[in-house]
Amino acid sequence: MPSSIKHSPLDIIIVGAGIAGFAAAISCRRAGHHVEIYERSALNNELGAAIHVCPNASRGLLAWGLDPVQAQFVTCKRSYRAHGSTLVRFHEGDDTYVTEKFGAPWFFAHRVDLHEELKRLATRQDGEGRPAVVHLKSEVTRYDTAAGSVSLSSGETVFGDLVIAADGVHTGSVEAILGSPNPALPTTDYNFAYRFLIPTEELAADPETVQFTEDDDGRVKFFVGEGRRLVWYPCRDNKVHNFVAIFHSDEQVYREDWQTHVETSALLETYSAFHPSLLAVLKKAKDVKQWPLLFRAPISSWHKEKLVAIGDAAHPMLPHQGQGGAQAIEDAVALGIALSGCTPANLDRRLKVFESVRMNRASVMQIFSIRSRGKMLTSNADAGQDEPEKIRTDAAKFMPAETVPKTPEEFFAYNFGYDVVRDSVQAMQREDASWELPANFFERTPVAGVYPSLEREVDVDGDSIAKSRLLDSGNGGRHLVTYAADVYHSVVRQVWRILKSAQYLA
């Protein structure tokens, strides 16, 4: 496709060099802007854990040139769920259809491998746009929304045309945007996770655990029971197995820290009711990290003036849908598209376009992540039967109630089939009929998704980005809510005007 109109590049500051930050850097450099990333750490102690790279995220990453072979990604092929105490399976799934159905693969990736590949794409000398510049050991202590600046712990202040906060759940950007603190808080149940890795060769060498490595290419396993959940899947070309052990603790931790170490004995005690073969696996865990699970309800805005928040900074979610990283990548794709051809003069409208595409979708995923946690931890189909109604009630603030997924298959389709590229491009073309996606924004054409969008419709009079209304959420927040009726009435008004102008109506 031809490029957009020529424009001077924006100077963009990105706070945080994690998955969201580097993905945003890729997107913004390919949109023609100059990117500087400020990261508080030295990036020399990356977390040893794995992550789902779901089709709704991989379609954009692959189009940008991500190399899943170089990154040692594993394609998900199969899954099963079993009772943790007996190993008896109650569900088995064949997931080889995912790529064909949803247009992109479902990968398992070591976080370090994904992170390195994103960093490569953001900072490489070749490729579209100017390489992003990374500043390490540069902690941001304050955001100034009007000035477009960040203050560093060194005392330095850095200015840009736009600041993108991608610094995680404890970001200071939300307070700067909303005007008051809105911290993420511990959940009331299933509020902790242990994370660790075990090499495949160690499991294969033990007669008691070798069974879990046989015919295991691309298989994700779930073991549940006794208020515990163990999620287990391979990464790094099946050479390493990743574990997430989710449970409840009476301990209350208000600070998410992926580097908190716990002894293997604590893991074994927590899962003592599980089958001896599983305990034999857990005994091999050598570097167990404790991860407090924190949640914050959807907020009313992600941007103010020259500041916008993305990823966990904007919408932290629980791991039960496996969508946290994917939603950050969707944010990055949408933001880069919205900023293509952007100037300081139209920045605010472009950020509103970005919000119109992303806020409903990410807010719904937040709700699914908090409301699905109980049902995901049980094999009893009747357990937690009030949860579907709670999901519908909460999600209906952000999507038509009749379209809220009801079955596991519908949730799967909603999560995996979404096409953020299509929705973002269409939203931009409604905002500016002359706008076109730059020819080199992607290295290859992304494969289309299959699921309908939830983006807010542009007002037919062109006076606002979205035809929305504000609804009191009942918890002190106010959320933009799009209703199917709004869309219907907008279309009716537009048709009425056309007919009247043609003198079909008196």
pLDDT higher than 50, residue 134: yes
C-alpha 153/C-alpha 432 separation (Å) is 40
Tell me what the mean pLDDT of segment 88-102 comes to: 94
Domain boundary among 295, 312, 328: 295
Note whether 254 and 273 are same-domain residues: yes
- Residues 380-412 pLDDT 10s: 333 333 466 788 888 888 999 888 888 888 888
Q: Please check whether residue 150 lies inside any domain of the structure.
A: yes
Burial bucket for residue 259 (CB in 10 Å: 0-12, 13-18, 19+): exposed
Note whether 131 and 215 are same-domain residues: no
Q: Please check whether residue 170 lies inside any domain of the structure.
A: yes
Note whether 69 and 15 are same-domain residues: yes
- Would you place residue 418 in the very low, low, confident or very high pLDDT band (cuts 50, 70, 90)? very high
Closest CA to 368 of 415, 328, 333: 415
CA 180 to chain centre: 24
Q: Please check whether residue 81 lies inside any domain of the structure.
A: no
CB 102 within 8 A of CB 416: yes
Note whether 197 and 276 are same-domain residues: yes
- Would you place residue 464 in the very low, low, confident or very high pLDDT band (cuts 50, 70, 90)? very low
- Residues 328-369 pLDDT 10s: 999 999 999 999 999 999 999 999 999 999 999 999 999 888
195 catalytic residue (yes or no): yes
Domain boundary among 295, 317, 351: 295
Note whether 388 and 486 are same-domain residues: no
Q: Please check whether residue 443 lies inside any domain of the structure.
A: no
Domain boundary among 248, 275, 295: 295
- For residue 99, give its domain range: 11-75+95-181+296-431
- Please count the structural domains in the chain: 3
Catalytic residue among 195, 228, 361, 373: 195
Beta bridge partners of 377: none
Catalytic residue among 233, 271, 414, 418: 233
Note whether 123 and 212 are same-domain residues: no
Tell me what the mean pLDDT of segment 496-506 comes to: 35
pLDDT higher than 50, residue 492: no
120 catalytic residue (yes or no): no
CATH number at residue 127: 3.50.50.60
Note whether 159 and 53 are same-domain residues: yes
463 or 180, which is more confident: 180
Could you give the angle at which helices 347-371 and 408-416 cross, rounded to 10 degrees? 150
Tell me what the mean pLDDT of segment 224-241 comes to: 95
CB 428 within 8 A of CB 340: yes
- Would you place residue 3 in the very low, low, confident or very high pLDDT band (cuts 50, 70, 90)? very low
3-state secondary structure of 469: strand
Q: Please check whether residue 85 lies inside any domain of the structure.
A: no
Task: Name all contacts of 226-229 with Cβ < 8 Å and 24+ positions apart.
Answer: 226/84, 226/85, 226/273, 226/274, 227/190, 227/377, 228/84, 228/270, 228/271, 228/273, 228/274, 228/377, 229/190, 229/376, 229/377
C-alpha 452/C-alpha 45 separation (Å) is 40
First CA to last CA distance, the chain:
44
C-alpha 365/C-alpha 295 separation (Å) is 12
Note whether 360 and 476 are same-domain residues: no
Note whether 155 and 171 are same-domain residues: yes
Worst-scoring range by mean pLDDT, 38-52, 166-180, 475-489? Answer: 475-489
Burial bucket for residue 76 (CB in 10 Å: 0-12, 13-18, 19+): buried
CATH number at residue 257: 3.30.9.30
**Strand runs labelled E in 379-489:** 469-472, 478-481
